Amino acid sequence: MQTERLDVYTRVTNAIIDELERGVRPWLKPWNAEHAAGRITRPLRANGQPYKGVNVLMLWMAAELQGFAAPIWMTFNQARDLGAHVKKGSKGSMVVYADRISRTETGDDGEETERDIYFMKGYTVFNVEQVEGLPAHFYATAAPQLDPVERIESADLFFANTGADIRHGGNQAYYASEKDYVQMPPFISFKDAESYCSTLGHELCHWTKHPSRLDRDFGRKKFGDEGYAREELVAEIGSAFLCCDLGLTPEPREDHASYIGHWLSVLKEDKRAVFHAAAHAQKAVDYLHSLQPQPDAP
């Protein structure tokens, strides 16, 4: 179990390190061009459910590397159960899930206790473009998109529904943790609405760390230290997840390009760091979604 766990963490982390060393942030390309599931979407399981956490990053990277437009993935057996088959020579992509085993341990006093041991396991999935014979909807091409203005309006409503104290002015975007507000430059200073929304999404992910919300603390003491780098990684990934959920293309922030070196240091030191960051990012985005008006139960 230990060998497999380390292998999974190492494989995923090394892939992300390779991207960062090329100057590429792998969470900034969550779009596809032509599929009916949408121009911008998370990777989807065969049943249409979106992947979460680190699996989103892994499948975004795999799709970008292999040029897939379709966002849907399935296992070899799922393809077979649908009466289809994986094309000969296709290379699968890894996703992971957490599992556990129970172990009985005997203490010095002779008492036996049960202890759960958690570990990460990997398995292989294939993009639907690697599978032949699937029902037609898996290959469906894109339908007309929503008006871009409508998408931005829905994003603005999403941000307003969080109830966050969002202030505008100056030329910097940041979350002021002690006074608990988000500072944004004026809207007009951004090159477009998507850039504004992407930046605001990043700062709202920071906003979720407040003790009254998710109480997230990596021990940051100063700019550029390990705690700072870990929190920025959470907000970067969280912003990408959130933009994807809102149908927006996340925009790279030029003022964050210098963070790549800090992230590389953290990832090279801790092979689990990106797994933890993606999990915290998912929690942050889930929290922001929880603040939206919920549909009435039937």
Task: Please give the Cα distance from 246 to 40 (Å, whole number).
Answer: 9
- Find the DSSP H helices in 72-165: 76-81, 148-161
pLDDT per residue over 35-79, tens digit each? 555 556 789 999 989 999 999 999 999 988 888 888 899 999 999
Task: Please give the Cα distance from 125 to 147 (Å, whole number).
Answer: 33
Give the start-to-end residue ranges of the domains of the chain: 31-144, 146-298
pLDDT per residue over 251-279, tens digit each? 777 666 678 888 999 999 999 999 999 99
Q: Are 85 and 131 in contact (CB under 8 A)?
A: yes
Is the whole model's pTM more than 0.75, yes or no?
yes
pLDDT per residue over 204-248, tens digit each? 999 999 999 999 999 877 777 899 999 999 999 999 999 989 988
Phi, psi of 165 (to 5 degrees): -80, 100
Q: Is the pLDDT of residue 33 over 80?
A: no
CA-based nearest residue to 215, from 171, 173, 180: 180
CA-based nearest residue to 56, from 125, 156, 145: 125
Cα angle value 196/203/220 (rounded, 5°): 150
Identity of the highest mean pLDDT range in 113-122, 142-151, 203-212: 203-212
93 versus 146: the higher-pLDDT residue is: 93
Q: Is the pLDDT of residue 148 over 80?
A: no
Task: Please give the Cα distance from 275 to 188 (Å, whole number).
Answer: 36
Cα angle value 61/64/68 (rounded, 5°): 120
Q: Name, in order, each residue with C-beta under 8 angstroms of 235's C-beta and a sequence gap of 6 or more.
A: 202, 203, 205, 206, 281, 284
Q: How confident is the model at residue 108 (pLDDT cuts 50, 70, 90)?
A: confident
**Among all chains, which residue has been given the structure tokens 């390779």?**
18
Identity of the highest mean pLDDT range in 64-73, 88-97, 133-142, 148-157: 88-97
Q: Is the pLDDT of residue 186 over 70?
A: yes
State residue 168's pLDDT score: 94
Q: Is the pLDDT of residue 293 over 50?
A: yes
| 181-184: strand order across its sheet | 166-168, 181-184, 174-176
Amino acid identity at 54: V
Q: How confident is the model at residue 3 (pLDDT cuts 50, 70, 90)?
A: very low
Q: Is the pLDDT of residue 142 over 70?
A: no
Q: In this prediction, what percent of the chain has a pLDDT beyond 90?
A: 54
State residue 256's pLDDT score: 65
| 73-74: strand order across its sheet | 73-74, 112-127, 93-106
Q: Are 121 and 99 in contact (CB under 8 A)?
A: yes
Phi, psi of 101 (to 5 degrees): -125, 150
Task: Please give the Cα distance from 75 to 128 (Å, whole number).
Answer: 10
pLDDT per residue over 158-174, tens digit each? 999 999 999 999 988 99
Q: Is the pLDDT of residue 201 over 80?
A: yes
Q: How confident is the model at residue 132 (pLDDT cuts 50, 70, 90)?
A: very high
Q: How confident is the model at residue 107 (pLDDT cuts 50, 70, 90)?
A: confident
| DSSP helix, strand, coil percent of the chain (3-state; round to 5) | 45, 20, 40
Q: In this prediction, what percent of the chain has a pLDDT beyond 70?
A: 87
